[in-house]
Amino acid sequence: MSAAHTTPPADGPRVGLEHLLARPGQAAGWGRTGLLTNPSGVTGDLTPAAVALARAGLIPERLFGPEHGVDGSGAPGEAPELERDAASGLPTTVLYHLSAGETARRLAGLDTLIVDLQDVGVRFYTYVSTVRDVLRAARLRPLRIVILDRPNPLGFTVEGPLLDPAFESYVGISAQLPLRHGLTIGEVTRVLAAAEDVPVQVIPTDAPDGWHPQRPWVPPSPNLPDLDATALYPAGALVEALDASEGRGTALPFRLFGAPGLDAQALAARLNALNLGVTARPAHFTPTTSKHAGQRCAGVHLHRTGPAGDLLPLGLALLTALEEQGAARNADWLQKLLGVPSGDLPATPGAALHAAAAWQDAARAHARTLRPHHLYAR
C-alpha cells in the first residue's frame, strides 16, 4: 500500500500517529519497541496503527492493550488476552489494572513503548490509568515512553469536582486531574509524568480541541459507539453509581437511562424543567446485558439540543432525579467516580446544581496550575 493510503488527505488534520508516519526518522534510536493501542489507534483511512507503523519500517515487537483489550472486545472491567493480533499478526499482552512491578515485567525487553489510544477527556476513563501504570513501570526499568497524541473529543472545557486523595482509585488516579480535565492524552501524560518524575515524549496532534468532521470515529470502547454517546458520557456515566441502567446493553448507551417501575413521563418533565442543554424524551427499553438485563425499564432518552456545554450539572441532575424516583445509590462507587464523599452530593436536582457550581469554580481555578503541561493554545 502506498504512503498516501496511510495518512489522511493533505488538507485534513493529522494525529500523532500520522505525524510519525510522515517522518519515521523521529524513531531513530528508539530500539526495540512495543505499542499500547486498541481499535481507536488508526490512521485517517482506518489503517490500524500497528499495520501502518510496520509499513513505514517501524515494526513493534509486541502489542499491548488497555481495558477492553487490544481488539476492543472486552466488556467493562475486562481485558481479554489474545495470542496474536489479527490485523498485524503481532503477539499481544494486556496492561490493565496491574501493579507497577507486573507492568514492568510485561514490558521487559523493550527500549520504547509507543502509546496510541483515543482518550475521551474524563478522569475515570481508564486508559489514562494504564498510562500512569506504564510511567511507574518506567521508574523500575529503562523505558522510553512516546505518546502519539489525539484530539480530546470533549474539547478543552474543564469541569469538577477535584479528586479528594482519600478516594483515589483506578478510576481516579490523580488529584491533579479534574473530573473533565480538558486535556489531550499527551497533555495528561505530561501531568502524570511530572508527578512520577519520568520523562515522556509526545508527538502532537492537529486540531486537538474537539473532533474534526473529516476524521472517522472508531469506538475507543464498546459503549461509546459514536460522538453523541461520547458527548454525554461524562454526565451519563455517573448513573453507574445507581441501580438504574445507563443504557448499557441497548443501542443507545449513555443516552437511555431508567429502571423497572419508574415514571418515564414525570422523569422527563423533571429534567426538561431544568434547561440543561438536552431534551429528555420518555422512553421504555429492555437491556440485553448489564443492569436490569431482560427487564422492561422506564426512563428517558436524552437528546442534545446544542453544542456540548457543561456536563457535570446534567449528570448530577440526572442522578438525583433518578434517586427521587427510588433508584438506590452505591455510595462507594459514586465517591470513586466523583472523587468526593458521597454525602457531599445533595439529594435533589436543585441542590445538586448548587453544589456543581462550587465544584466547577474550584476545577477551573485548579486548571490554571496545569498550564505548564499544555501543548496547545487555549
Block means of pLDDT (10 residues each) for the chain, length 378 residues?
41 92 97 98 98 97 98 94 95 97 98 98 98 97 97 97 97 98 98 98 98 96 97 98 98 98 98 96 98 98 86 97 97 97 94 95 97 98
Write down the pLDDT at residue 149.
98
Nearest alpha-carbon partner for 269 in 243, 300, 245, 239: 300
Beta-carbon contacts of residue 321 (< 8 Å; ≥ 6 apart): 267, 270, 271, 349
Distances (CA, A) of 355 to 112, 274, 313: 44, 15, 9
* Angstrom distance (rounded) from CA 182 to CA 122: 8
Write down the pLDDT at residue 8.
45
Write down the pLDDT at residue 201.
98
Distances (CA, A) of 180 to 122, 310, 345: 4, 10, 17
Distances (CA, A) of 97 to 130, 238, 246: 7, 21, 23
CB 362 within 8 A of CB 189: no
CB 38 within 8 A of CB 88: no
Beta-carbon contacts of residue 10 (< 8 Å; ≥ 6 apart): none
Write down the pLDDT at residue 290.
97
β-pair type (144-148, 92-94): unpaired
If residue 337 lies in a helix (H) or strand (E), which one and from where to where? helix 331-338
Write down the pLDDT at residue 12.
82
Write down the pLDDT at residue 309.
80
pTM, whole model, 2 decimals? 0.95
CA dihedral defined by 159, 367, 345, 295, rounded to 10 degrees?
40
Walk across the sheet containing 112-116 and list its strands.
92-94, 62-65, 33-37, 112-116, 144-148, 201-203
Nearest alpha-carbon partner for 15 in 36, 58, 45, 54: 45
Write down the pLDDT at residue 11.
61
Within 10 angstroms of residue 219's Cβ, the number of other Cβ atoms is 17
Within 10 angstroms of residue 366's Cβ, the number of other Cβ atoms is 17
Within 10 angstroms of residue 307's Cβ, the number of other Cβ atoms is 9
Tell me the three cell numbers of residue 321: 432525579
